[in-house]
Amino acid sequence: MKKRIVVTGMGAITPLGIGVETLWDGLVNGRSAVQRITRFDPSDFPTQIAAEVPDFNPTDFMDRKEARRMDRFTQFAVAAAGMALQDAGLNLDNEDPFRVGVVLGTGIGGMETLTKQFEILYEKGPSRMSPFFVPMMIANMAAGMVAILAQAKGPNTTVVTACAASANAVGEAARILRSGDADIILTGGTEAAITPIAVAGFCAMKAMSTNNQDPEGASRPFDARRDGFVMGEGAGILVLETLEHALKRGARIYAEIAGYGTTSDAYHITAPDPEGIGEATAMRLALADAEMAPEDIQYINAHGTSTPANDKCETKAIKAVFGDHARRLAISSTKSMIGHLLGAAGAVELMAAIMTIERGIIHPTINYQDPDPECDLDYVPNQARPARVDAVLSNSFGFGGQNASLVVSRYTG
């Protein structure tokens, strides 16, 4: 029998604030965190809105000297990891450090550092570049710093699969635990890309919403008037353990990572396969890994980006996998409230799925006003819904045709 993997701790830094409870309170109450960009002057940009993390002070979580040597995306990860470890009640001094690992995902990495150091190079020359430029920027440094501060000397991996990155990270972490190579893994994702160059790049692709007049209403997954995604930032870190290890130390168990499926569309650098075949196959693989039938799932936390193509393709894929049961499923998009956290999205949305199981309430898809005939399922519009949920499928799809689906279920002993 394969080893069972459970979630024992969670930490979150999101546009709704600091901590998982703050995230959950905002989601169930349908609060949008989208506003005009404040991290730089967006006046010349077609898109001038984003979901920024408010009131984040890195020195609340780490030494000032350490913070200065970390990009914002790494600061987010370190802060969320500390909260997750505390939530799990883990004292890693009591663990074999070579049995503790870190597997994180990010889509872009240290974009803020790259932007600032390029400006220094352009304005002041190469002699003024920071010696910390490369280690602050590289995508694996969030995982590296989390491991250093936690003294986690086991497997350490960074997954870079665009917007599927942190879902892939959780899935790969579960595989490592099942293989017997670790007992505990800190996993999830982090992103901090609300910078002029990243926003300009997405604007050039015409991928983001330009509804600057109504920031809170701009992210509207599955709605007929959706016009693109809204960029967000933040981090979500989970503590995963083998069930044997969690029980041995008397840990509180949130839920079980029951299944994982991942595929590639092999279709286009940005557009999803219009038939949703890769997405559907990832969902089927996750269900098979969980040894569940489609009818065992009560809720899907959708990728739900608010782009015309993605929402339509995801709906088509859900119908292909779930058949008649698709009409009975509750489906909602966390991105309607916190925007798209890119490489961190999958982990934060998995936390929302876990909280759905624990609290017995499904958060809504806000801003759903005008039904789209091609998106005709139950998207839990605008109001949270009480419901007993025992198993959730969480979807994450990324540029390059990267698809990842996770099944999380109620722990039943």
3-class SS string, the chain: CCCCEEEEEEEEEECCEECHHHHHHHHHCCCCCCEECCCCCCCCCCCCEEECCCCCCHHHCCCHHHHHCCCHHHHHHHHHHHHHHHHHCCCHHHCCHHHEEEEEECCCCCHHHHHHHHHHHHHHCHHHCCCCHHHHHCCCHHHHHHHHHHCCCCCEEEECCHHHHHHHHHHHHHHHHHHCCCCEEEEEEEECCCCHHHHHHHHHHCCECCCCCCHHHCCCCCECCCCCECEECEEEEEEEEEHHHHHHCCCCCCEEEEEEEEEECCCCCCCCCCCCHHHHHHHHHHHHHHCCCHHHCCEEECCCCCCHHHHHHHHHHHHHHHHHHHHHCEEECCHHHHCECHHHHHHHHHHHHHHHHHHCEECCECCCCCEECCECCCCCECCCEECCCCEEEEEEEECCCEEEEEEEECCCC
Q: Residue 120 corresponds to which tokens in the numbers above?
A: 């220094």
Note whether 364 and 332 are within 8 A (CB): yes
Which residues are identified as catalytic? 163, 303, 340
First-last CA distance in the chain = 15
Cβ-contact 62, 79 below 8 angstroms:
yes
Residue 370 CB partners (closer than 8 Å, separation 6+): 223, 224, 225
Q: ∠87-145-26 over CA atoms, to 5°?
A: 40
